[in-house]
Structures are given as structure tokens and as C-alpha cells.
Amino acid sequence: MFDAVVIEKEGSGQQSVAVRAMTDDMLPEGDVTVRVEWSTLNYKDALALTGRGAIVRQFPMVPGVDFAGCVEQSSCASFAVGDRVLLNGWGVGERHWGGLAEKARVKSEWLTPVPAGMTTRQTMELGTAGYTAMLCVEALRERGVTPESGPVVVTGATGGVGSLAVMLLAGRGYHVVAVTGRAEESDWLKTLGAAEILPRASLSQPGRPLEKARWAGAVDVAGGQVLANICASMVYGGVVTACGLASSMEFPATVAPFILRGVSLIGIDSVMCPQERREKMWTLLAQEISFEKIMVTEISLDEAVSAAADLLDGKISGRVLVRLQR
């Protein structure tokens, strides 16, 4: 028997969430069974657990878009019993049972070996948030944004993606402007490497099609008006990476920044990102992250639902790590 968080849909359309005792024969199909050691709560998991977003595509569902642990059973050539593996994305926790369980059975092609020098716990201190932050940071570098190009702005700076993007960019020598709705976390953001703190409210109201040119690069987790205002404030040739919708799914912008300043808007998707690029991101994370600076809240499976509400209500800074083994 093992424990898992299970989301079910009632006849009324309401969802229920509970920690349930499961048996191996209940696990979905897959060629690798993993003894999960650590999972995390990402924004998407919080939406799934609270039912505040339509994340789960079929019920019953074990949520959790990422996890790390040890291979317990394998019928594929690429992973052997005892291998340390991690998984993020591929629809796990949405269409296929995910990581908020003591065991997971998945397709071997979704698994990534834990990078050398990292523990399974460390991989989930980063989780999908860290890997997405690195996708954004690398997208900026690949498009020629260097520390000499000018400041880089990061929104949702106290959240998972944002805080790790601040740390990664500062580590590479960029002048980082951290946008946050939580001024009280300014000191922590500075220890991560933020050079300037900007109140979220300064970007939340409708602005002009073109604002004063301020930033050479951007990592945006907010979407909505915040993203529109960021695009309007980029320097000529600036690059914006858009990965989130913490503010809104909308994009109330004009084309002015794109056709008058040559600004690029780059979409970042972590879920279906090809395996080769994932492994590259995880290797870079192993080299560049200062784990002692990450703010981690560790919880048990039983605490996942209340922590999910706290995450969406802006009561948690940094990362939420879920402990699966006692």
C-alpha cells in the first residue's frame, strides 16, 4: 500500500481531494515505476488541488506535475532499478497520474536522470519552477541579451519561477530588477541578487503603447497588463520571455513595441520541451544554483491542499517541497 493525493469529480461537478491508500495495481500504465521521494507544489498544482483552474483533464487524478525518486521497477533498457530520476511536465498531474504520491508509474521517455552532484531533494527544491526559470534565462542568452545589454526585469519575483530567475540572472552578472507585490520580501530578493525592487502596482495599470525604454530583457510570469507594460518598456531590440499567467491569461497590448522597437516576445513552455533541451537545463541548474539561498517550505502530503490555497493567495514565498517518504 502507498499514499496518494486523489482528486475526484462528484456528480454535482464539485471536486473532492483526499489522501488515499492505494495499491500498485491501481497505478496507470508505464514501463517504469518510481518510488517518489520528493514532489513540489507549483502554481499549476495549486490550481488543480483547489479547483481554481481547469488543469485536471481526467478523473480520478493524482496531481503533481513533477517529482524525483528512485526507480523501483523497470521494463525498459534506459533505466534500471535504483536509478535516481526526476520528471516534470509531459501532462503528468494533468492527464497521467503525477507526483503527489509515494509511487508513480510513467513512460520511461518522460524521465530525466538526476544530474550529477544533485540530490533528489535538490531537484525538487527547483522543480518545474527552476527548470522553467532556466528556460527563460537561456532563451535570453540565446537571443543575444548579455549583462552589457542593460537591465533585465523579472516579475513574480518572490514566487518559484521568479525567485529562481532572479538568482540565475544575477549569478550570470545581469543587473536584475525584481518586480514584486510583497515589498516585505525586498531584503530576501536582494540576497538572491536583485539590484532593484519595483512594486508590482507600478506595472498593473493600463499604460501607453510605448513607455520609456528601460529593460533589455524580461522574464514574465504574470501575463495580462503586466506583460503588456513590460513589452512597452523594452529597449530597442529587447527580448521578453513569457511563461506565466499569475495575473491574467489576457494580453492587452499593442504591436508598437514589436514594429517600432524590434522587441521580441518569446513563449516559454516547459511541459512539452524536448528531452535534450531539458537535460541541458538541468545540467546548467546543477552548476549555477546556490541551494542555500532558496526559500523552501517543506510539507507532508496531508498538508498539500491547504498549502495550495496559501500559494495562490500569495502567502508563500519561494518553493514548496512535498516530502513523500517518512
Q: Tell me which residues touch ligand NDP (CB under 6 A).
A: 42-44, 128-129, 132, 155-162, 180-182, 200, 221-222, 226, 243-247, 268-271, 311, 314
Q: Which triple of cell numbers denotes residue 170? A: 544575477
Strand-strand pairing, 103-106 and 32-41: antiparallel
Q: Which triple of cell numbers denotes residue 37? A: 521521494
Residues pairing with 17 in the sheet: 7
Rank residues 63 and 79 by Cβ distance to ligand NDP and give the closer one. Answer: 63
Distance CA 141, CA 144 (A): 5
Rank residues 37 and 66 by Cβ distance to ligand NDP and give the closer one. Answer: 66
3-class SS at 179? strand
Rank residues 162 and 257 by Cβ distance to ligand NDP and give the closer one. Answer: 162
Closest distance of CB 324 from ligand NDP, Å: 19
Closest distance of CB 258 from ligand NDP, Å: 20
Residues 155, 230 contacting (CB under 8 angstroms): yes
Round the CA-based radius of gyration of the chain to a whole number and report it: 20
Rank residues 115 and 130 by Cβ distance to ligand NDP and give the closer one. Answer: 130
For ligand NDP, the nearest residue by Cβ is: 159
Closest distance of CB 298 from ligand NDP, Å: 15
Closest distance of CB 213 from ligand NDP, Å: 22
Residues pairing with 96 in the sheet: 92
Helix (H) or strand (E) segment spanning residue 321:
strand 319-323
Rank residues 27 and 231 by Cβ distance to ligand NDP and give the closer one. Answer: 231
Closest distance of CB 76 from ligand NDP, Å: 26
Closest distance of CB 240 from ligand NDP, Å: 14
Rank residues 128 and 149 by Cβ distance to ligand NDP and give the closer one. Answer: 128
Cis geometry, peptide bond prior to residue 147 (ω within 30 degrees of 0): no
Distance CA 35, CA 236 (A): 50
